[in-house]
Structure 1
């Protein structure tokens, strides 16, 4: 079987009469074109001798959309057997990374998994002893996430992370986690869909949520705005004095709920804008004070130990 020309990425793709089974149960356009296109081996020529005669050849390419150019890097291809092994799992037959990929396979049915970042498609194909090529349409795009306190105060660095979830809830009322701890400014490749994005500034209560749509073949840039500031706590004997060590802390909401607890001379938190009460405990004495957090106003909050004499403090 002599090699043939490489598939033309601009050729018109004819819709199949029946779409190939989509094992991810997604709703967009068929992800796996059923059109047969010419084949050419990527690294070596086909031979008509040996075991090659008993195998089929499969050449795979992928696009973000039907109208986009083929992807030449960043793809991960995995070929699985259709039947499960003794452990009840699909057996991984072959893998490839990069752009287009070539596989030699025994005749039979296989599962082809194509990944481009977090964008994936999973499809079934039947291989004979002939030469076959396919173009996978990922129907995918990407999002670039960033955070800011205002238009003039971007949060390019610091403790900002994003978690990306699907929109549907499972039987436990939880969303499927798609990508975790995404850094600000990172590009995440995703299947075309709407996603629930959770941005966390710090590790306490500065959280912003948004629903963001990923459009096929497009990069969606989104900025979320946090209303928060970085707060450092100090227990001192006099205003501006040295911080007292071995102090334990509790920050409370106006309703009396514990927002965060810590210990040490200089606990530091990112807190959402709002009103709080802080309780400092040192040497079996308790000291309290109220404070407010304003967006972008990073500052120290001092608790004066002399406040133990006030009605709000107790020994």
Structure 2
């Protein structure tokens, strides 16, 4: 079944400016926490070992002819492949996208930007969002957005002065202050981002992607260092989610019952962490009938109770399907003012129908039976 992509929406910046409390330090802190658009990439059955290999194209240099987007009156875009005069930079390693920079207009410098996952890792080949802000606020207190680009290695034409460059990749981002003088140069940013690809199974049998989802939290469940809000919600099995490098714990939800488990994992810069969470659960379909194998009755309300009488799951569907963790339960069916119940057990991986018969058992004491306990 095709993967459905659920990107987390990017934070929307005010037109051409951003406001931050606390001066420049506050601006840098704000930019460092701005999320980008979540990169979720369906991968092939054989997952890649690195993020670069899993991206739509692989390479260590920017493709020719790409163009950045400049805000009105701001920096110029990347002009790779153009006929403008170019300047070679001394000491730039072979294969760097900015070995030669275009000649800037008078009074400006060409600043070539690129990013790596680590000092020894290849350049990030795609998926970057660049924003350049002036480091001095306007009279209103807002910091103007000077330029932005989505190229992997843009070139900005900037006037002398101070700037804050913010680059995001998936949900990872970095902000850096730069000072621009009269000379062109290149700037390279380390953006520690990695990916996680999640799967789930029961007794080594993969759970279909449409029946399982994953919420990703910062911290460690095992060490008690957990965040109360998901860093990313609703990832699908097999999707590649790009995250800041670090420690996370994943909550895997199988179906619509109580089949929920947690696991810790670590995301390394430039790497793909492939993890499979092992559920011990089963899929049960419920039906109320007047006799064994008889036609299912309609207008039934269901409750699944724990041995202590706590409600695990409820449904107004006459024939619901619940994914339940292995253990002991009681099924309670209410129909036409009468209540019927049946004790049952769930064994991991044993998917089966559960039939409750009219008059099979009296309702348990924890269930309201004011209208009758069944035939």
Measured against the shorter chain, the TM-score band is: 0.7 to 0.9
Q: Figure out how many residues of one structure are paired with residues of the other and give that number.
A: 279
Secondary structure of 2:263's counterpart equals strand
Structure 1 CA distance for aligned equivalents of residues 340 and 286 of structure 2: 12
Q: State the distance in 2 between where 1:311 and 1:2 align.
A: 86
Secondary structure in 1 matching 2:132: strand
Partner of 1:40 in structure 2? 100
Residue 165 of structure 1 corresponds to 217
User: Which position in structure 2 is the counterpart of 1:18?
Assistant: none
Question: Unaligned regions of 5+ residues in structure 2, if any?
Answer: 1-83
- SS of the aligned residue for 1:158 comes to helix
Q: Compute the displacement of 1:83 (Å).
A: 4.8
Work out whether residues 342 and 361 of structure 2, in 8 Å CA contact, stay in contact via their aligned partners in 1. no
Mapped partners of 1:275, 1:150: distance in 2: 19
The RMSD of aligned alpha carbons is 2.9
User: Contact 1:273 / 1:295 at 8 angstroms: preserved in 2?
Assistant: yes
Is there any run of 5+ residues in structure 1 with no aligned partner, and where? Answer: 12-36
Is 2:111–2:157's contact at 8 Å kept on the other side of the alignment?
A: yes
Q: How far is 1:189 from its partner?
A: 2.2
Among candidates 237, 247, 272, match of residue 300 of structure 2 = 247
**Structure 1 residue 8 and structure 2 residue 93: aligned?**
yes
TM-score (norm 2): 0.67
How far, CA to CA, are the matches of 1:200 and 1:310 in structure 2? 30
TM-score, structure 1 normalization: 0.78
Output aligned runs, 1:1-315, within 5 Å.
3-5=86-88, 7-8=92-93, 40-41=100-101, 45-47=102-104, 52-83=105-136, 90-151=143-204, 153-167=205-219, 174-307=227-360, 314=373
Provide the rounded CA distance (Å) in 2 between the counterparts of 1:40 and 1:9: 10
Q: Give the CA deviation at 1:96.
A: 1.5
**Segment drifting more, 226-235 vs 156-165:** 156-165
Q: Secondary structure at the match of 1:177?
A: coil
Deviations 1:52-76 (A, max 9, x none): 3233322111111111121222222
Provide the secondary structure at the position in 1 that maps to 2:150: strand
The 3-state SS of whatever aligns with 1:239 is: coil
Q: Deviations over 1:263-301 (max 9, x none)?
A: 122111211111111111111101111111111111111
CA gap 1:311/1:198 in 2 versus in 1, 3 angstroms: closer
